Amino acid sequence: MQIEKLLGIVITLLMVLSILLVFSYAPEEKQMGIPQRIFYFHVPAAWNAFLAFAVTFATSIAYLWKRSEKQDSLAVASAEIGFVFCTIVLVSGPIWAKATWNTWWNWEPRLTTTLILWLLYAGYLVLRTAFTDDRKRNYAAVLGILAFVNVPVVYFSVRWWGSILHPVDVIKPTRVEMDPRMRIAFFVSLFTFTLFYIYLLLLRYRVERVSQQVEKIQQQTLQQQQV
Amino acid sequence: MNYFIGAYIFIWLLLMGYTIFLHQKQNRLQRTLEFLKALIEKHE
């Protein structure tokens, strides 16, 4: 709890710093102008969605292997947070697209595959509400593994099918075109978003564990009443 | 510029809102758990 409180304070401070860096320190991009500043939260949100889905993938495998409820709790916690970040990507992307390319939506490979990813994890969350017994965990674990297949597809879609809107690589260690001040603003934002993901994961995991305890007691009480 | 600052703050508020929602859900579940435990103890 103490670590969580400390983490919350650090994230709040970093959030303020990040906003200041994005809007007053980072220079304006010459071609796109002000709308380019969406980049500083659009890309970190996408990175965290991928990270969250990767955690769901790993913990789903671990659940099917060891049948531990803790692994299942981590899987659902991470999937829900990933879904929130993926929603941010799908909201901020069209705002950027409208301002820069004068269109809200384009059925280009990355946008389409990201929408499919969002729908897959929406399905994952809905699936968990459809059952109350162990089938919920088993089916969700299988879907958690299968849905992750789409993550590399989203990442490589631009390379495989080409795109006029998205670059192949956003950040490359060897690439020097990005202004150093832009780099600082970007990495501070990326770090803040990642810390926020860890904080949310800890919180959501605890909610799931308490929820499971309540569910167990309710089921035991029902069984006793039936006997 | 104001439009984009607004959008940026909106994203952070969305994340803050989700955090508050989780905290409230946790508190509610904790209270339910304690209530159920007390109820079981009483009946035993």
Asked if the Cβ–Cβ distance from B33 to A213 is below 8 Å, we say: yes
Q: Please name the residue that has the structure tokens 């810390």.
A: A195
Residue A174: pLDDT above 60? no
Is the separation of the CB atoms in A26 and A37 below 8 Å?
Answer: yes
Boundaries of every domain in chain B: 1-44
Boundaries of every domain in chain A: 2-23+38-168+179-226
Asked if the Cβ–Cβ distance from A95 to B30 is below 8 Å, we say: no
Residue A177: pLDDT above 80? no
Q: Which is more confident, A156 or A194?
A: A194
Is the separation of the CB atoms in A149 and A169 below 8 Å?
Answer: no
Q: Given the cut 0.85, state whether the ipTM is greater than it.
A: no
A132 touches chain B (CB under 8 A): no
Neighboring chain B residues of A40 at a CB cutoff of 8 Å: 8
Residue type, B18: Y
Asked if the Cβ–Cβ distance from A15 to B23 is below 8 Å, we say: no
3-class state of residue A26 by DSSP = coil
Q: Which is more confident, A161 or A207?
A: A207
Single pTM value for the model:
0.88
A89 touches chain B (CB under 8 A): no
Neighboring chain A residues of B40 at a CB cutoff of 8 Å: 217, 221
Is the separation of the CB atoms in A97 and A110 below 8 Å?
Answer: no
CA–CA dist A211, A73 (Å, integer):
10
Calculate the alpha carbon distances from A67 to A63, A137, A152, A187 in Å. Answer: 5, 9, 27, 38
Calculate the alpha carbon distances from A86 to A61, A170, B15 in Å. Answer: 22, 17, 12
Mean of all residue pLDDT scores within chain A = 87
Q: Please name the residue that has the structure tokens 């984009």.
A: B4
Neighboring chain A residues of B33 at a CB cutoff of 8 Å: 210, 213-214, 217
Q: Could you read off the pLDDT of A10-66 as tens digits, one per residue?
A: 999 998 999 899 888 888 877 777 778 888 889 999 999 999 999 999 999 999 999
CA–CA dist A84, A129 (Å, integer):
18
Q: Could you read off the pLDDT of B1-44 as tens digits, one per residue?
A: 666 777 777 787 888 899 999 999 999 999 998 988 888 888 77
pLDDT value at position A132?
76
A199 touches chain B (CB under 8 A): yes
